[in-house]
C-alpha cells in the first residue's frame, strides 16, 4: 500500500487493494433517524437539565452534537481551513512525515496505519496537541499559521473537555471531578482525517465499524456528511450542523459507567464528488490508570459487568483486534476468559 493516498489528482478507478468484499460495503440508509443536539449555553440553574440531556443521549446513542459550546466559531473554521491547506501541500512534503510508530507525536499515515488487508480511503495526520508546551515543537512547520491555530484550539478544547466530563459525571450521580486526573490523563491527540473524492463509494470505506478506545471523542466534521453510527442494528447518519461539535463516548466510558452509557460504534463512508475533512480529538485514560466500574454505580441490583484492569492492557487488546468492540472487551468481562 502506498504511504499516502491523496496525491493531488482524482482517481479514475478504485485501486484493487481498496475494494471491500460485498458483505463489508456500505448500503443505502433506510431510516430518517438523527442524534440529539444539546445547547450548552446555560447559567448555573440549567446545569442539571444539560447534564440530564447528556446522560439521556449517552444512554440511548452514545453520541450527541453540542452547540453554544464556547469554542469560537472562527477558531473552528480556522482549524478546518489550515488542515485543508496541509493536505494541499505537495505529496512528497506530507509523505516526509510518514511513520509506522503508533506513538510518535506527529505522523502521517494512510488507511489505519497498520497492515490492512484492504485499505481505507483516507489519509490521516496524527498530532499530540495537549499539553501544548510538550508537543508544539513536533507540529508541522507548514502551513506557517498551523502552530498558532492548533495551540489556541487545544487550549479551548481542554476547557470544553473538563466541562463535558463534569456534566457527564453529574448526570451519572458521581462527584464532578470523577473523570479528572488519570482517567483522562493521556495527552490529547488529534486525528485529522482527509477522505479524497472516491470514484466508486459503493465499494470503499473511509473507516470500518469500530468503537473509540478512550473516554470520549470530540469531532469537527466540516460541511460534508460521512459519519455514521450503529444504533439498534441500523446505520444512522450524523449530518453536520453549523458550528456544532460532535461528542461520542468511547469504550472506557461504557465500562466506567457499568453499561449505563454507550461506547458508540461508528464508521466513515466516502463521497464521489467532494473530499471530506474531519478532526477527531481523543480523551483517553493514562496508560497506567486503573479502570473499573465506578463503585457508586455498582450494587446488588446492578452488579459490576467488568473486572478492574490497566488501560494499557485494554489498549493492547484494542490494537490487536483493530478496534472491534466485542473482541476488545472480552478479556475484561467478569464472565470472560481473563487477560
Confidence at residue 338, expressed as pLDDT on a 0 to 100 scale: 46
The domain limits of the chain are: 32-300
Confidence at residue 134, expressed as pLDDT on a 0 to 100 scale: 98
What's the chain's length in residues?
A: 339
Confidence at residue 112, expressed as pLDDT on a 0 to 100 scale: 85
Sheet bearing 207-211, strands edge to edge: 207-211, 265-268, 227-231, 234-237
| 208: nearest Cα among 189, 231, 241, 230 | 230
| 267: nearest Cα among 213, 323, 203, 335 | 323
User: Cell numbers 473486572 correspond to what residue?
Assistant: 307
Residue pLDDT tens, the chain, 339 long? 468 899 888 999 999 999 999 888 888 787 788 999 999 986 655 899 999 999 999 999 999 999 999 999 999 999 999 999 999 999 999 999 999 888 899 999 999 866 577 999 999 999 999 999 999 999 999 999 999 999 999 999 999 999 999 999 999 999 999 999 999 999 999 999 999 999 999 999 999 999 999 999 999 998 999 999 999 999 999 999 999 999 999 999 999 999 999 999 999 999 999 999 999 999 999 999 999 999 999 999 999 999 999 999 999 999 899 889 999 999 999 974 444
Q: What is the DSSP letter of 208?
A: E
C-alpha cell at 320: 490487536
Q: What is the largest CA-CA distance in the chain?
A: 60
Confidence at residue 339, expressed as pLDDT on a 0 to 100 scale: 46
| 267: nearest Cα among 247, 240, 238, 246 | 238
| 198: nearest Cα among 113, 116, 125, 120 | 120
Confidence at residue 2, expressed as pLDDT on a 0 to 100 scale: 65
Q: From CA 184, how far away is CA 162, in angstroms rounded?
A: 9
CATH code given to domain 32-300: 2.60.120.330
Three-state SS at 278: strand
Q: Which parts of the chain fold into alpha helices (H)?
A: 47-60, 73-87, 91-95, 132-135, 146-172, 251-256, 311-320, 325-329
Amino acid at each position: 500500500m502506498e504511504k499516502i493516498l491523496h496525491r493531488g489528482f482524482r482517481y479514475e478507478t478504485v485501486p484493487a487493494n481498496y475494494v471491500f468484499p460485498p458483505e463489508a460495503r456500505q448500503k443505502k440508509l433506510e431510516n430518517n433517524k438523527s442524534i440529539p443536539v444539546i445547547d450548552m449555553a446555560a447559567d448555573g440553574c440549567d446545569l442539571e437539565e444539560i447534564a440530564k440531556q447528556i446522560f439521556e443521549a449517552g444512554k440511548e446513542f452514545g453520541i450527541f452534537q453540542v452547540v453554544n459550546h464556547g469554542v469560537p466559531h472562527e477558531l473552528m473554521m480556522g482549524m478546518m481551513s489550515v488542515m485543508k491547506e496541509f493536505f494541499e501541500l505537495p505529496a512528497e512534503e506530507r509523505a516526509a512525515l510518514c511513520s509506522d510508530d503508533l506513538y510518535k507525536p506527529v505522523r502521517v499515515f494512510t488507511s489505519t496505519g497498520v497492515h490492512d488487508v484492504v485499505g481505507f480511503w483516507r489519509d490521516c495526520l496524527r498530532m499530540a496537541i495537549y499539553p501544548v508546551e510538550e508537543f508544539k515543537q513536533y507540529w508541522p512547520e507548514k502551513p506557517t499559521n498551523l502552530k498558532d491555530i492548533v495551540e489556541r484550539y487545544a487550549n479551548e478544547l481542554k476547557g470544553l473537555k473538563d466541562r463535558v466530563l463534569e456534566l457527564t459525571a453529574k448526570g451519572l450521580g458521581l462527584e464532578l471531578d470523577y473523570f479528572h486526573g488519570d482517567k483522562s490523563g493521556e495527552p490529547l491527540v488529534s486525528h485529522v482525517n482527509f477522505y479524497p473524492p472516491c470514484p466508486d463509494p459503493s465499494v470503499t470505506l473511509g473507516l470500518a465499524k469500530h468503537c473509540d478506545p478512550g473516554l470520549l471523542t470530540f469531532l469537527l466534521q466540516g460541511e460534508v456528511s460521512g459519519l455514521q453510527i450503529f444504533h439498534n442494528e441500523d446505520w444512522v447518519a450524523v449530518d453536520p450542523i453549523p458550528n456544532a461539535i460532535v461528542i461520542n463516548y468511547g469504550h472506557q466510558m461504557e465500562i466506567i459507567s457499568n453499561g449505563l452509557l454507550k461506547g458508540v460504534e461508528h464508521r466513515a463512508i466516502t463521497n464521489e464528488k467532494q473530499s471530506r475533512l474531519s478532526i477527531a480529538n481523543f480523551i483517553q485514560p493514562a496508560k497506567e490508570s486503573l479502570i473499573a466500574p465506578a463503585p457508586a454505580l455498582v450494587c446488588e441490583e446492578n452488579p459490576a459487568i467488568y473486572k478492574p484492569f490497566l488501560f494499557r492492557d485494554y489498549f493492547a487488546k484494542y490494537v490487536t483486534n483493530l478496534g472491534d468492540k466485542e473482541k476488545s472487551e472480552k478479556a475484561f468481562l467478569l464472565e470472560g476468559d481473563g487477560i
